[in-house]
Amino acid sequence: MRTLDPACKFVSLLCATFVLAARHDPVWNLAAFFLAVGWMLISRVRGKTMGLLLLPVLLTAAGMFFTGYRFSADGALPFRAETLHIGDSALWNGLTLSSRVLAYAGLGLLFALTTDRVDMVRSFQRRFRLPQVFAYGLLAAWGIFPQAAREYRRTKAAFRARGIRVAPMSPALLKPLLVKAVRWSEELSVAMESKGFSSGAERSEFARSRLRRRDWAALLCGCVLLPLAAALWK
């Protein structure tokens, strides 16, 4: 999965989400989720990372299950053990909603955890004609995220050093961060220009990759075979 062209991977997975949106079927959703998890494991995504990210997803899915179960058309009916079969519409409704959360989150994580962000932006720039000022602005801003998290902790530490405890995300804490964000953006743009970057200028391309068979195969699976199977599946 890591070696697929990010733009092709993105289009294929996007198509798959549309197909799942069109089907009201927990079997398909769960199949997509488990496939995504399996693929992540094959792609050597760290189990701990995946587990931590899936934890809130599983909680949301559980919440959606009970919401769907309780508020289906015949959700007012009391739960009985003998009706615990797939044909029960309340259960079916709950399963569909919760499995949908799992499927979308699984596909999203599959893309996010198996794609290098620099490769992704370069691929989007090449395949979708993304303007380079937007692409590299995005990359530079991305680089600032860890910096912003660190600055957040620094600012919090600065308050602590003055004997002031501030609530997370309090305006007092965010104000210095906003001032710094403006300063960062200025310094970063000066740094980018000093290295020769210009939004309008032509650049060479180091890793100009062609689409390979596996990329075409991913597109074929996501955009043709899957919708076809969904249309034919009863």
Partner 1 sequence: MSIRFEDLEFSYFADRRAVLPGLTAEFDAEEITVLTGASGCGKSTLLYLAAGAYPHSAGVVRRGRVTVDGEEPGALAPPERCRRVGMMFQNPELQFCMDTVKNELVFCLENIRTPPEKIEARLDEALEFCGIPHLKERALLSLSGGERQKVMLACLTALEPRWLLLDEPFANIDDASARAIAAKLRQLHRERGMGILAVDHRLDNWLAVADTVRVMEGGLLRPERMEPAGLTPETLEALGVIVPGRSYAPALAPAEPGEVVLELRGLTLSHGQNAILKGVNAAFRAGCIYAVVGESGCGKSSLFGALSGLYPYKGQALLEGRELRRLRRADLGKVGFVTQNPQDQFVSDTVREEITVGLRGDPRAGEQSEAILRKIGLWRYRDISPYLLSQGQQRRLGVAALMAYPCKALICDEPTYAQDRNNTRAIMDALCRQAREHGVALVFSTHDRQLAEDYADEIWELREGALHAYAGSGL
Residues that bind partner 1 (CB under 8 A): 117-118, 136, 139-140, 142-143, 146-147, 150-151, 153-165, 172, 175-176, 179-180, 183-184, 186-198, 201-208
Nearer to partner 1, 207 or 232 (CB): 207
Rounded to the nearest whole angstrom, what is the least distance from the CB of residue 213 to partner 1 in the complex? 23
Nearer to partner 1, 83 or 147 (CB): 147
Distances in whole angstroms, Cα of residue 25 to Cα of each of 22, 60, 169, 226 = 9, 18, 40, 14
> 3-state secondary structure string, 158-212?
HHHHCCCCCCCCCHHHHHHHHHHHHHHHHHHHHHHHHCCCCCCCCCCCCCCCCCC
Nearer to partner 1, 208 or 213 (CB): 208
The Cα 53–Cα 137 span in angstroms is: 27
Q: Which two tokens stand for residue 99?
A: 């499995």
- List alpha helices for 114-131, DSSP H: 117-127
Rounded to the nearest whole angstrom, what is the least distance from the CB of residue 44 to partner 1 in the complex? 15
CA-based radius of gyration for the chain: 23
Nearer to partner 1, 74 or 205 (CB): 205
CB 77, CB 111: distance < 8 Å:
no
Rounded to the nearest whole angstrom, what is the least distance from the CB of residue 178 to partner 1 in the complex? 11
Nearer to partner 1, 99 or 155 (CB): 155
Rounded to the nearest whole angstrom, what is the least distance from the CB of residue 172 to partner 1 in the complex? 7
Rounded to the nearest whole angstrom, what is the least distance from the CB of residue 34 to partner 1 in the complex? 30
